[in-house]
Structure 1
Amino acid sequence: MKMVLMMTRCYLVITALLLLSVIPTAVTEVVKSMSDCDQFLLDGAPPHVPGVLEDGKILDQNRYKPICQTYMNKRRFVTLYDIKNRIPVFSAIKYRGQHDSRRPQNRWKIEPQLEKADYDKNMLDDKGSINKHQAGKMDYRNNRTFDRGHLLPSAYAFNKTDKISTFTLTNIVPQAATFNQGSWNKMEKCIKCVMDKYCKNNNNNTEGFVVTGALPSSNNTLNNKINIPSMLWSAFCCYSSNMNMWLASAHWGTNVPDESETEYLQTKTLSELHHELSTADSEFKVFPGTRCPLHRTVTRFYPTSKNCYCPSSISPNVTSQPFTTKSGSLMSISSPPASTASTAAITSASTSISSPPAPTSGPIITTSATGSDAATSLPLTGAAYLWHTHISTSDPHKTNP
Structure 2
Amino acid sequence: MSFLSPSSASECAGWRSSVMFHSQSFFLKGTTPNLPGILVDGKVQDQNRYKPICQLFKYKKKTEVKNIYRFATLYDTTNRIPVFSAYNFTGPPTDRRPNQRWMIEPQLEDKHYTRDMMVAGRRLRVEHQATNADYKERGFNRGRWSKIECKVREYLVKNCKEAEDQIKAYVVTGAVPSNNKLNKRVNIPDLLWTAYCCKNKLGQWVAGAYWGKNVKGETVNSNTLGELEKELTNFYKDFKVFPYYCPRKAIQSVEQDETGRNRERVLEGGAGQKRSGKGSRERSMKMARRTGDELKECDEEDGCDCDCDEKL
| TM-score, scaled relative to structure 2 | 0.70
Q: Which runs of 5+ in 1 are unaligned?
A: 1-26, 127-159, 315-319, 324-401
User: Quick one: which of 153, 158, 175 aligns to 1:214?
Assistant: 175
Deviation track 1:361-393 (CA, whole Å, cap 9, x = no partner) reads xxxxxxxxxxxxxxxxxxxxxxxxxxxxxxxxx
Among the aligned pairs, what percent are the same residue?
40
CA contact (8 A) 1:96 1:207 kept: yes
Equivalent residues in 2 for 1:129-168 (5 A)?
161-163=122-124, 167-168=128-129
- Residue 82 (structure 1) aligned with residue 76 (structure 2): yes
| 1:252 corresponding residue in structure 2 | 211
Find the aligned partners of 1:115 and 1:99 in 2 and give their Cα distance.
Answer: 29
| 1:370 corresponding residue in structure 2 | none
| 2:31 corresponding residue in structure 1 | 45
The one-letter code matched in structure 2 to 1:273 is L
SS at match of 1:212: strand
Find the aligned partners of 1:256 and 1:199 in 2 and give their Cα distance.
Answer: 31
Greater alpha carbon shift after TM alignment, 105-114 vs 224-233: 105-114
User: Quick one: which of 213, 223, 226 aligns to 2:186?
Assistant: 226
Deviation track 1:247-305 (CA, whole Å, cap 9, x = no partner) reads 1111111111116xxxx5222211111111126993110002x4111100255799637
SS at match of 2:134: strand
CA contact (8 A) 2:155 2:292 kept: no
| 2:271 corresponding residue in structure 1 | none
The one-letter code matched in structure 1 to 2:163 is N
CA contact (8 A) 1:28 1:70 kept: no
The one-letter code matched in structure 1 to 2:213 is T
CA contact (8 A) 1:52 1:58 kept: yes
Indicate the structure (1 or 2) with the bigger Cα radius of gyration: 1
- Residue 60 (structure 1) aligned with residue 46 (structure 2): yes
SS at match of 1:76: strand
| 1:96 corresponding residue in structure 2 | 90
Find the aligned partners of 1:223 and 1:75 in 2 and give their Cα distance.
Answer: 30
Q: Which runs of 5+ in 2 are unaligned?
A: 1-12, 59-66, 253-266, 268-274, 276-284, 305-312
CA contact (8 A) 1:30 1:66 kept: no
CA contact (8 A) 1:76 1:162 kept: no
Find the aligned partners of 2:152 and 2:115 in 1 and give their Cα distance.
Answer: 33
Higher helix share: 1
- Residue 239 (structure 1) aligned with residue 192 (structure 2): no
Find the aligned partners of 1:196 and 1:251 in 2 and give their Cα distance.
Answer: 17
Shift of 1:170: 0.9
CA contact (8 A) 2:98 2:123 kept: no
Aligned-CA RMSD value: 3.4
- Judged with a 3 Å threshold, the aligned counterparts in structure 2 of structure 1 residues 165 and 118 are, in CA distance, closer, same or farther, namely farther
Find the aligned partners of 1:270 and 1:120 in 2 and give their Cα distance.
Answer: 38
SS at match of 1:49: coil
| 2:105 corresponding residue in structure 1 | 111
Find the aligned partners of 1:89 and 1:119 in 2 and give their Cα distance.
Answer: 23
The one-letter code matched in structure 2 to 1:174 is Y
SS at match of 1:191: helix
Find the aligned partners of 1:123 and 1:86 in 2 and give their Cα distance.
Answer: 19
Equivalent residues in 2 for 1:356-367 (5 A)?
none
- Judged with a 3 Å threshold, the aligned counterparts in structure 2 of structure 1 residues 41 and 285 are, in CA distance, closer, same or farther, namely same
The one-letter code matched in structure 2 to 1:227 is N
SS at match of 1:285: coil
CA contact (8 A) 1:68 1:78 kept: yes
Equivalent residues in 2 for 1:251-400 (5 A)?
251-258=210-217, 264-278=219-233, 282-288=237-243, 290-297=244-251, 304=289, 310-311=295-296
Find the aligned partners of 2:250 and 2:138 in 1 and give their Cα distance.
Answer: 30
The one-letter code matched in structure 1 to 2:42 is G
Deviation track 1:141-198 (CA, whole Å, cap 9, x = no partner) reads xxxxxxxxxxxxxxxxxxx855268622112201111111111111211111111111
Find the aligned partners of 1:223 and 1:210 in 2 and give their Cα distance.
Answer: 30
Shift of 1:118: 5.3
